[in-house]
Amino acid sequence: MRSEVRAAARSAEHNPVLRVLARAGYAANGVMHALIGIIVLAAAFGGSGAADQTGAFRSVAAAPWGFALLWAIAVGLIALGVWHAVAAVGARRARRTQRLGILAAEIGQAVVFATVGAVAASVALGARPSAERAAEDASAGVLSMPGGPFLLAAVGLGVAIAGVAFVVMGVRRSFRSKVTLPRTAWGHAVAGLGVAGFVAKGIALFIVGVLLGVAAVQVDPGQAGGLDGAVQALLQLPAGPLLGVAVGAGFLAYGAFTILRARFAKLSV
């Protein structure tokens, strides 16, 4: 039975329609990150706006025919989530430890992309969610549990480690294993965008993890925050606006890289 399920997943993984939609999902993810980068840059120069996924989606919704683009983004992200779930089930690695590692990574990405796609769809339907409020509410729920501060601290540590992992992937250019780039100046330029983008996103995730850790130590969910909270905390630092410009530019680079990843991604596990 298990082998039949895996065989069905491998067949679905090679379905041309799903593969096209998965590549569209990468493009949608890139557009979202590029919009976040623009919002971060605006905040660095004194502007306003939520520098996270919900802020990006609300910006799209405010544009002419924005609801149509939002639906396209939602479908692409959800399809990318489905592809990662299928890839997790159909993983071909022989060693059990490798298979478990791939399963965890692919399922995690599947949940993230499907959830963000659902948020995009909700905004297209007229909802106005707040990622910051959601992060604070979730933190309050965790802190109210027995041992909640320790659990929230563990979550914050996990997010911070994910941020460090993004930075390492950028510096070491290990993300290149996920794409097939031409050995030309164009390929080197795309890789350069990846370096800047992964480092910038990693810094933002690390700050989110620190904020969750502070909320756990102080037992104050108001100290917790998502990506927008991380950007606001960054802007409060000495030379904050300059750091904000660097991170905003990095998110633009990550968005451009991810859009191009739609063309160069290796759709196999």
The reported pLDDT for the residue numbered 6 is: 59
**CB-based contacts of 92: which residues, under 8 Å, 6+ apart?**
10, 269
Q: Does residue 77 form part of some domain?
A: yes
Distance CA 118, CA 88 (A): 21
Q: What is the pTM of this model?
A: 0.84
**Residue ranges making up the domain that contains 70:** 2-264
Q: Does residue 209 form part of some domain?
A: yes
Using one digit for the tens of pLDDT, what is the confidence trace for 7-53? 555 665 667 788 888 899 999 999 999 999 898 898 888 877 676 78
Total tally of structural domains belonging to the chain: 1
Q: Does residue 66 form part of some domain?
A: yes
Give the mean pLDDT of the chain: 83
Q: Does residue 269 form part of some domain?
A: no
Distance CA 190, CA 197 (A): 11
Q: Helix 53-62 and helix 66-89: axis angle, to 10°? A: 140
Residue 214 contacts residue 138 (beta carbons within 8 Å) = no
- CA-based nearest residue to 206, from 245, 246, 161, 264: 161
- Of the segments 83-87, 94-98, 160-164, which one has the largest average pLDDT value? 160-164
63: confidence class by pLDDT, cuts 50, 70, 90: confident
Confidence check: pLDDT of 268 > 70: no
According to DSSP H, which parts of the chain are helical? Answer: 2-13, 16-44, 53-62, 66-89, 96-124, 131-143, 148-172, 185-218, 227-235, 240-264
Using one digit for the tens of pLDDT, what is the confidence trace for 96-131? 666 666 677 788 888 889 988 998 888 888 878 777
The reported pLDDT for the residue numbered 142 is: 77
The reported pLDDT for the residue numbered 191 is: 93
Using one digit for the tens of pLDDT, what is the confidence trace for 123-152? 888 878 777 777 777 777 877 888 888 888
User: Which residues are paired to 265 by β-bridges?
Assistant: 179
Residue 149 contacts residue 217 (beta carbons within 8 Å) = yes
Confidence check: pLDDT of 61 > 80: yes
